[in-house]
Amino acid sequence: MKERSHLYAEMNKERSKIMAKSKLPTAEDIRIGDRIVVTIKRLGINGEGVGYYRKKAVFIPGALPDEVVKAKVTRIEPSYIHAALVDVEKTSPDRQKPPCPVYEQCGGCQLQHLAYPAQLRAKEDIVREAFRRYTGLDDLPLKPILGMDDPWGYRNKAQLQVGVREGRVVTGLYSPGSHKLVDISGCPIQHPGVNETIDAARAVVEELRIPIYREKQREGCLRTIVARVGRASGEVQLTFITATRELPHRAELISRIRKRLPKVTTIAQNINSADTPLIFGEKTIILWGKERLDESLGQVQFSLSPRAFFQLNPEQTVKLYNAVRDAAALTGEELVVDAYCGTGTIGLWLAPQAREVRGVEIIPEATLDARRNAALSGADNARFYVGQAERLLPEWVRQGVRPDVIVVDPPRTGCDRKLLQAVIQARPQRLVYVSCNPSTLAKDCKVLLDGGFRLASVQPVDMFPHTSHVECCSLLIRNEK
């Protein structure tokens, strides 16, 4: 034992000498501001490079897999380190120059500096890593990610803050971690019609000198401009969000917008006077035109109010919903429960192949939209209920109504634990889990696997190219006992 202790002591001395010569800190004595050299192994859930320094995970925004980078430590936690990229000593062959001139300031995208095929590979790895970490599954039934042929100009809606810089009205997003407004005119991931609408609306606002809301002083009028383009209809819906009910130069604003933007079919005003990060307030007034924007996905018809949620990338939404339909494997005899149905999109997509669809949504307005969309689409076998699925589902089971297929599409935080238990107790043959967060998906799948399901497949879909987000459609099948 003494010989072994002596050997360890000598090894530690030698390690200290090497560290001193390299002028790099050890994990034990590292401080904020220190410079470290890290080899990047993969991308993290937020698109940052992930490597290891003395067995401690290091997260470095802007770094790419297979790169060797020099970074400055910005935050230290017991099990990980945050650092800022200083220099790339070995560059990935997949690194590229971002086409957006304000990419690094905006923060809306995280991966424009990575070639698109490499983005898709990285997103598959993000899903694998999440399941490995939270379920212990090394042999994940992962299907190849569904990407876009043209991953630009796909976002059909923009919600841009309005501000004033050097006497000019600007529209954009706040830079991450600050209150600096970044002008994103001509954003390459927005639909061209959205960019055109926002730019013209901004120009008219400036011409008419409509007072811009100043958050610190809580003075002024215009807070946000929202534009949505109907991919199928070609219609444009334009909404001005104001802090006051009065909208100065209202008549002239409408007249000039209609003249410059003939595709606009709705001009609306939403009033949000609260001190809140929420974009929309409760009151919406149609200033001119149609109350709703017509849109469709496949054979499903939608009628969208200015506040209504709708998927931001319709092309990829069709691929995602087709993956849901394939996973559900409906024959026309099944009862399908859509537990987070929203405005009914997934349930209505499945309705033609199902005996009955029951959608559950906690927000009454969304449920009304779902019923309206069902009527527009002729889906008379789809019914939508206001309430919590974790309460309604057990009630239906007690009444002898047991679903054959359950679909969940929860928020980023994942499913409520009570809902997971309700699903386990309902014992559907198939559970289709749609998720925009691989980490919470994997955590919830662990509960379901322990509750008697097996994971049959995971289908990633790239809903938002050039960002770190990755959507998944997972199929879980009940184990027969």
Active site residues: 436
Cα separation, 227 vs 270, in Å, equals: 13
Q: Which two tokens stand for residue 204?
A: 């008219």
Cα separation, 316 vs 280, in Å, equals: 26
Cα separation, 42 vs 40, in Å, equals: 6
Query: Is residue 382 a contact partner of residue 374, using CB atoms and an 8 Å limit?
Result: yes
Collapsing DSSP to helix, strand or coil, 394 comes out as helix
Phi (first) and psi of residue 141, to 5 degrees: -75, 70
Q: What share of the chain is helix, strand, coil (3-state, %, to 5)?
A: 30, 30, 40
In 33-115, which ranges are continuous DSSP H helix?
103-106
Amino acid at the residue 209: R
Query: Is residue 92 a contact partner of residue 121, using CB atoms and an 8 Å limit?
Result: no
Phi (first) and psi of residue 2, to 5 degrees: -65, -40
Cα separation, 434 vs 418, in Å, equals: 18
CB-side neighbour CA atoms (13 Å) of 292 = 14
